[in-house]
Structure 1
Amino acid sequence: MPRIELSSGPIDYQDTGGDGPVLVFGHGMPMNETQWRKVVPLLDGYRRVLPTLPLGGHRLPMNPDADLSQRGVARLLGEFIEQLGLDEVTLVLNDWGGGQFLVSEGRAQRLARLVLVACEAFDNFPPGPAAKAMAQACRVPGGVWLLTRLMRIPAFRRNRGGYGGMSLRGIPDEILDDWFAPATRSKAIRKDLAKFATGAPDRRTLLDWSERLREFDRPVLVVWATEDRLMPRQHGPRLAELYPQGRLVEIADSSTLVPEDQPGRLADVLTEFLVQTGAEPVRHAG
């Protein structure tokens, strides 16, 4: 897997290459690029770039002084896009919504459009009671270590109030094991995870940042899941109205991880949006 050294540390990423329009995919905590494993193969004709961000599923620790707050990770994502020389990027987010802060941070020049799939928004950072409880646990010494041990217990990992509720189909055990493996084995990565999990600002700051999103005058597709337990149903239309060129599509029979529950439907909706907004896939003869 390719790796790039950024100001905060190393970032692994996948890159399909090609000369099609560029799609950059963000993921949730403590997930990695496999969150999109069902969708990426359905988007032939696009260059698909999937960084593994330092949200706890990253394989190498970041620098000890790395800013892994919501703002810090958003800036790091912007630096990643810049260092790879990517332009006219479509940024696709699911679960983690902090990539939107590239707009409020004034770092969205390389973005041509946004796709927000059942993600954190407004003051819903972290999302839902379980994630907020997890963030509080991460403030306690040994809290992340305990979480990684609890995730080995089937009843805990499948609890509908936590990761078990993020997918109606159920996240395969081998995928969850992979997501939690780095924090399970590395104290340094547990520290990174704790920094991110506790790195959301207060409610007033989050809402102030959200107001700045109105400045993004390029196309935005908001895809919301009708059976999501973590992202409030009303946030979908509210987000679509916030962005000047926002549009909303709701996907039924799905929870937060739409790429897990409805990958085909999501790929169709995404492709339609891309084509309608001038990002045609590149088709090669033969």
Structure 2
Amino acid sequence: MQRRQFIQLGAAALAAGVAGACAPLATTRRGLAGTASDAPLDAAAYRALRRYAQTPFGRIAYVERGRGPAAVFLHGAPLNGYQWRGALDRLSAYRRCIALDFMGLGYSEVPEHQALDAHAQTAMLAATLDRLGADQVDIVASDSGGAVAQLFLIRHPKRVRSLLLTNCDVEPDSPPPKIQPVLDMARAGTLADATAEWLTDKPKARATFGAAVFADPSRFADETIDYYVTPLVATPLRRAQYHAFHVALSPNPLVGIEAELKRSQVPVRIVWGAADDIFDQGDAEYLDRTFPNSQGIRRVPRAKLFFQEEFPEVIAEEARRLWGA
């Protein structure tokens, strides 16, 4: 029954969890490793760029591309920084783009008893940016990464130049009700086994998870599935942390932050997938009326929760407009 519930209900919910000018830099950009980084990123290229920042929380995996003012990209669950590869391709001419992997997801390596809730992730983000010498950042965030973005903003308001939020947690909707079956599986210790099936049954991954979060699940490529799932189930510790990440999504980490968000003067743009049924469509209006310096909402037709992978040009267009404001 647990497995059947995951296929029918949980796959959709598994997706949810948790001021500079826009003039281009030099035509030839350099990645962190010192090699040319103009080519589009596929899984192999992204893996080759992966580095680790040693922090008090552990070794935090990240990819860095481009130069100039820093921009950090915060992913959703059960994804990792690879979610933003298309945006990095398009924006590294304008920013030093940093996409990190949250603790308990992706390729970051943290100790067994490390807390994985949104507050701990926020502290980890600050420590990682310190380690990378990124004092101020533009933030682009999705899903549970949006909760971390909001917490980072209220804790470190002077470090945030702008905030671009896509479908994500908000105080009245965190975690969204539709992910409850996934949280139940995490508590029962069955989520990792169900997710691991995607490695050997890619059509199931596309028919369940892919159909829930992509407008065209056929574009959920085999190499993408491998890159996302492999670290989640690689060892007993990683499986336990994958469960712990989801368990830590509840209780709501955003309780009480609305008043502080209403005092923020940071420019905010909301870009919302109009076909997403995991986060309520009204959540976009909530963000728009909460942030005093909201630049409004753009709704993306057909787009579901993780449209950032399918329509990276939308992210790039909106980020450039926001950064140039």
Same fold (TM over 0.5): yes
The within-5 A match list for 1:175-194 is 175-194=224-243
Between Structure 1 and Structure 2, the one with more helix by share is 2
Answer yes or no: is 1:67 the counterpart of 2:115: yes
Deviation at 1:148, TM superposition (A): 2.4
Residue number among 210, 217, 221 corresponding to 1:172 in the alignment: 221
The question of whether the paired residues in 2 share the 8 Å contact of 1:117 and 1:224 is answered with yes
Where does residue 121 of structure 1 map in the other structure? 170
The within-5 A match list for 1:255-270 is 255-270=304-319
Task: Name the CA shift for 1:157/1:211 in 2 (closer, same or farther; >3 Å).
Answer: farther
DSSP-derived class of the 2:257 partner? helix
DSSP-derived class of the 2:313 partner? helix
Residue number among 76, 94, 108 corresponding to 2:142 in the alignment: 94
What percent of counterpart residues are identical?
20
Q: Over aligned residues, Cα RMSD in angstroms?
A: 2.0
The CA deviation string for residues 133-185 of structure 1, in whole angstroms up to 9 with x for no partner, is 111111113x233222343445642345x443111022223212210101222
Residue number among 192, 196, 205 corresponding to 1:149 in the alignment: 196
The within-5 A match list for 1:231-242 is 231-242=279-290
DSSP-derived class of the 1:39 partner? helix
DSSP-derived class of the 1:92 partner? strand
Say which is worse superposed, 190-199 or 60-69, in terms of deviation.
Answer: 60-69
The question of whether the paired residues in 1 share the 8 Å contact of 2:192 and 2:242 is answered with no
The CA deviation string for residues 2-40 of structure 1, in whole angstroms up to 9 with x for no partner, is 21111111101111242x221100111121221111121
The question of whether the paired residues in 2 share the 8 Å contact of 1:31 and 1:55 is answered with no
Answer yes or no: is 1:11 the counterpart of 2:93: no
Where does residue 256 of structure 2 map in the other structure? 208
Deviation at 1:245, TM superposition (A): 0.6
Q: Distance in 1 between matches of 2:241 and 2:167?
A: 24
Where does residue 186 of structure 2 map in the other structure? 138
Please, which runs of 5 or more residues in structure 2 have no aligned partner?
Answer: 1-49
Please, which runs of 5 or more residues in structure 1 have no aligned partner?
Answer: 277-286
Runs of 4+ in structure 1 off by over 6 angstroms are: none
The question of whether the paired residues in 2 share the 8 Å contact of 1:75 and 1:107 is answered with no
The question of whether the paired residues in 2 share the 8 Å contact of 1:127 and 1:231 is answered with yes
Task: Name the CA shift for 1:254/1:145 in 2 (closer, same or farther; >3 Å).
Answer: closer
Residue number among 213, 220, 236 corresponding to 2:268 in the alignment: 220
Q: Distance in 2 between matches of 1:223 and 1:55?
A: 26
State the TM-score, normalized to the length of structure 2: 0.76
DSSP-derived class of the 2:158 partner? coil
Q: Distance in 2 between matches of 1:55 and 1:121?
A: 21
Deviation at 1:98, TM superposition (A): 2.1
What is the number of residues matched between the two proteins?
Answer: 269
